Amino acid sequence: MELFGQPQPLQTTDGQTILVVDDEEVIRDLCGKALADFRVLEADNGRTALDLLDRESVDLVLVDVMMPVMNGLDLLMQIKERDPDQLVIVMTGYADKEIILRALKADADDFIQKPLNLLQLKSTIEKALEKRQLRQELLQLKRLDRLKAEFLGLISHKLRTPTTVLSLFIQNLASGAVSTDTPEFPAAVAAIREEADYLAHLIQDLLTYSDVILQEQKPKLAPADLREIALTALAEKRPAAAEKGISLISTLQGAWPRLSLDRRRIAFAIGALLDNAIKFTPAGGQVILSGEAGKDGLQLVVRDTGIGIAAEELPRVFDKFYQIDPTQAGQVRGFGLGLFYARQFVQDHGGAITLESVPGAGTTVTITLPRRSPA
């Protein structure tokens, strides 16, 4: 029957899914019993397997070489063309080095010879999954290292100017070059306060970015109310708006359907849009939060009556570290990360973010999220 060893339960697999592709039903059944701790899907040929992969999230594909309709090597190549990271282990009844070499050349992650030894099957699958997990952890560590390096470079650049200015004015005060009875004193105190406030805002932004951006790469989805998240973000920005003499207005009304959202990331995205709107709107202006729950999706709109953005700047506003031309932005300074991560986090949810602006008239940013049931 081409099987040796007894099926043994595998260790905890956290709901991982294995797709077994073999034209022999007895092989599929016995593999299913050996892999009892996994969620097991079955296909009797390559075409059926590809259809399943279109509909299902699969952690590993176990595929036989000799099958009708589409053989295992052709299936392997098509799977790897679609997703190079998909784990595929090839089963073959031929102790043929050429078949094995062709499988490995097509990027098979491992292979098992028939007659199958179910203990070897268990070990091979566990090793492949463990290798993938280690590879993902390594990629995540490299990503974090890259982000940390970028942050360090950015922090060094952003902190240099305010610390230099503070140091200069403090030295002047300490040396007596500027004192309470000199005409320059009020300007010096104002400059110190301005740079200190700027540093405080930079540090707060840094804490926010590090808290949200350096979390796990995949969104942590849970049922959430987008309208409530948006109103909470708006309430958090009221002190900053009031300090600048800007009116924050919300026209969000009614009950909205709950969506599967990463609350922190969506809150960050909305907060970043509101921050930008407040920064680039002069005293006496308005920032309006509106939206609607449509049949196909939910929309949030942040509109301001600020300075607007020049047409030549628009294609770059979502670029990482990009900041508006200082001749337009005046004294507004920041990290240049808000819009970049706002768009990334919205796209992580299958949504889109668009921006329209007219110089001197203001900017409108729209977040669109698909309507779907909570996970």
Is the pLDDT at 241 greater than 90? The verdict is yes
Return the pLDDT at 184: 81
Query: pLDDT (tens digit, 9 = 90+) per residue, 200-234?
Result: 877 777 776 666 666 656 788 899 999 999 999 99
Is the pLDDT at 3 greater than 50? The verdict is no
pLDDT cut 70: percent of the chain above it: 88
CA dist 160 and 375 (Å) reads: 45
Q: What is the pLDDT averaged over residues 236-247?
A: 94
Is residue 287 within 8 A of residue 241, CB to CB? The reply is yes
pLDDT class for 118, splitting at 50, 70, 90? confident
Is residue 346 within 8 A of residue 269, CB to CB? The reply is yes
pLDDT cut 90: percent of the chain above it: 42
Return the pLDDT at 50: 94
pLDDT class for 9, splitting at 50, 70, 90? very low
pLDDT class for 79, splitting at 50, 70, 90? very high
Return the pLDDT at 269: 94
Query: pLDDT (tens digit, 9 = 90+) per residue, 339-352?
Result: 988 999 999 899 99
Return the pLDDT at 10: 38
Nearest to 358 by CA among 319, 327, 328: 328
- Pick the residue with more confidence: 111 or 20? 20
What domains appear along the chain, each with residue ranges and CATH number?
A: 3-138 (3.40.50.2300), 219-375 (3.30.565.10)
The rounded mean pLDDT for the chain is 84
